[in-house]
């Protein structure tokens, strides 16, 4: 009796579809990885270091050179200021300020508010440590352009604590900042 | 004799070679991307060296360098102010408007700016003679300053620095948000010549005016700059 079915041809092969799916998946992964590479790779890490001070030989050293040498021995504590929060490097812990530092009527109120926000935080502990050892440490304030307007207030606070502050502007779009 | 080809049903079901080819190719591409990304992330584009803050030389005066709008310009108001105010103490009060008019006929300029003297008689009556004089600084058209690409040891900025003594002058940069890279280059050039430097956020809309007795450290529109 005739049999119309053919065992060799009755199965539907899904492998062409798998190939297409795998190829599509691969293309999507490729696009994703390319976008990630471009977005991350185009903004390489910015390394911020302390500039060395060149000193003459000890026999030729003047009083000013000795002062420069003392400054050279101090170690920086790196803190970023963007206008609304302080971020300490390299731990990247932050303290936010929900009020504009220029909105206070007096310096005392401004300092009291900043102290209140810093109290009990790692950033506050680091700042306090610098204040206890001003001859060994100083603060480098990395300032984003968004923090230019109230830089005076935050910088004055550190000086109010007796801390030497060096300011350094950093570009707003820099996202991967390292300190050394 | 013709021989019917053998049906390959079981062979086609088990043959994964084409799929494996595609997968291995994709895995290779992804591995390449991962390695490339890791290498890119580990790279450092450049370093920023933060100078240790040092006091300017005792008795030195400040020279303002404007890093605004993508360019760098030296604003050294000392000589123009001297030119504008020479003999001002000997001028009687009632002759002051005419004196100011005569002085401004030959108003001094420098590489980027022009300077004129202003006198406010009402201010003189209220706040005293010293507060009545204003120096107005305006940009010279067609002198926008030098960009990041133009700042090098042979630039106009460098030659202007060459006319200053690091023992007599320290440099204060007024920096806006758009000129940070040019500021860093300009600061490097100044420090290489031995100048003490500071910076502060500053964006000036010209013309700007400042009082003759504005600043004990050195003439210039200091009040516009953060008083640090």
- Choose among B30, B34, B199: nearest Cβ to A169: B199
Query: From the candidates B17, B52, B179, B202, which should be mutated to test the interface with A, based on the most A CB atoms within 10 A?
Result: B52
pLDDT of A56 > 50? The answer is yes
Distance CA A165, CA A78 (A): 10
Least Cα separation, residue B7 to chain A (angstroms): 6
Average pLDDT over residues A96-114: 91
pLDDT of A81 > 90? The answer is yes
Least Cα separation, residue B184 to chain A (angstroms): 9
As to burial, measured by CB atoms within 10 angstroms (0-12 exposed, 13-18 middle, 19+ buried), residue B168 is: exposed
Q: What is the DSSP letter of A89?
A: T
Least Cα separation, residue B42 to chain A (angstroms): 8
* A89 contacts on B by Cβ (under 8 Å): none
Beta-carbon separation of A145 and B46 below 8 A: no
Query: Which pLDDT does position B108 carry in this prediction?
Result: 85
Distance CA B171, CA B189 (A): 11
Beta-carbon separation of B199 and A76 below 8 A: no
Query: From the candidates A169, A171, A178, which should be mutated to test the interface with B, based on the most B CB atoms within 10 A?
Result: A169
Helix or strand run (H / E) with residue A40: helix A15-41
* B59 contacts on A by Cβ (under 8 Å): none
Least Cα separation, residue A40 to chain B (angstroms): 7
Better pLDDT: A8 or A152:
A152
Least Cα separation, residue B145 to chain A (angstroms): 21
- In sign, the C-alpha dihedral spanning A140, A43, B200, A64 is positive
For the stretch B65-94, what's the b/e string if a residue is b when 16 or more beta carbons lie within 10 angstroms of its beta carbon?
bbbbbebbbbbbbeebbeebeeebeeeeee
Distance CA A55, CA A110 (A): 40
- Choose among A34, A45, A140: nearest Cβ to B50: A140
Beta-carbon separation of B177 and A164 below 8 A: no
Query: Which pLDDT does position B219 carry in this prediction?
Result: 42
Task: Using a CB–CB cutoff of 8 Å, tell me whether A72 touches chain B.
Answer: yes
Query: Which pLDDT does position A10 carry in this prediction?
Result: 56
Better pLDDT: B81 or A38:
B81
Q: How confident is the model at residue A35 (pLDDT cuts 50, 70, 90)?
A: confident
Least Cα separation, residue A52 to chain B (angstroms): 7
Mean pLDDT of chain A: 80
Query: Which pLDDT does position B2 carry in this prediction?
Result: 57
**A-proximal residues of B, 99-158, CB under 8 Å:** none
Beta-carbon separation of B175 and A169 below 8 A: yes
Enter the ipTM.
0.70
Report how far apart, in Å, the C-alpha atoms of A118 and of each of A124, A154, B71 are. Answer: 4, 12, 38
Average pLDDT over residues A54-63: 62
- Consecutive 10-residue runs of chain B (228 residues): their mean pLDDT? 53 66 78 75 66 72 90 88 79 79 83 86 72 84 88 89 89 92 91 88 85 55 41
For A120-173, how does the pLDDT look when each residue is reduced to its tens digit (9 = 90+)? 999 999 999 888 888 888 888 999 999 999 999 999 999 899 888 888 899 888
Residue of A nearest to B10 (CA): A8
The model's pTM: 0.72
Better pLDDT: B179 or A178:
B179
């Amino acid at each position: 009796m005739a049999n119309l079915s053919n065992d060799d041809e009755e199965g539907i092969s899904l492998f062409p579809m798998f190939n297409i799916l795998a190829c599509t998946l691969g293309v999507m992964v490729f696009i994703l990885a390319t976008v990630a590479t471009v977005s991350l790779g185009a903004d390489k890490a910015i390394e911020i270091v302390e500039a060395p001070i060149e000193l003459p030989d000890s026999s030729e050293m003047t009083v000013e050179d000795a002062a420069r040498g003392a400054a050279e021995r101090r170690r920086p504590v790196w803190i970023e200021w963007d206008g609304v929060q302080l971020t300490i490097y390299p731990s990247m812990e932050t303290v936010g300020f929900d009020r504009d530092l220029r909105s206070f009527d007096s310096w005392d109120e401004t300092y009291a508010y900043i102290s209140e926000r810093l109290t009990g935080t790692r950033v506050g502990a680091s700042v306090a440590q610098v204040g206890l050892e001003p001859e060994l440490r100083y603060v480098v304030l990395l300032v984003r352009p968004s923090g230019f307007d109230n830089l005076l207030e935050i910088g004055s606070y550190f000086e109010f604590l007796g801390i030497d502050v060096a300011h350094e502007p950093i570009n707003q779009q820099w996202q991967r900042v390292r300190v050394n | 004799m013709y021989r019917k080809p053998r049906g390959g049903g079981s062979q086609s079901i088990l043959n994964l070679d084409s799929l494996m080819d595609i997968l291995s190719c994709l895995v290779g591409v992804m591995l390449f991307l991962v390695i490339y990304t890791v290498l890119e992330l580990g790279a450092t584009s450049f370093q920023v060296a933060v100078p240790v803050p040092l006091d300017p030389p005792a008795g030195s005066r400040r020279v303002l360098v404007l890093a605004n709008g993508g360019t760098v310009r030296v604003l050294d108001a000392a000589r123009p102010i001297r030119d504008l105010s020479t003999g001002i103490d000997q001028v009687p009060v009632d002759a002051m408007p005419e004196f100011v008019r005569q002085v401004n006929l030959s108003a001094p300029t420098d590489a980027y700016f022009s300077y004129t003297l202003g006198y406010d008689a009402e201010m003189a009556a209220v706040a005293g003679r010293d507060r009545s004089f204003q120096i107005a600084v305006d940009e010279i058209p067609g002198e926008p300053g030098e960009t990041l690409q133009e700042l090098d040891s042979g630039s106009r900025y460098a030659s202007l620095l060459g006319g200053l003594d690091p023992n007599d002058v320290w440099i204060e940069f007024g920096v806006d948000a758009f000129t940070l890279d040019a500021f860093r280059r300009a600061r490097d050039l100044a420090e290489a010549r031995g100048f003490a430097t500071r910076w502060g956020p500053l964006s000036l809309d010209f013309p700007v005016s400042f009082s003759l007795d504005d600043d004990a450290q050195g003439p210039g529109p200091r009040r516009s700059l953060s008083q640090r």
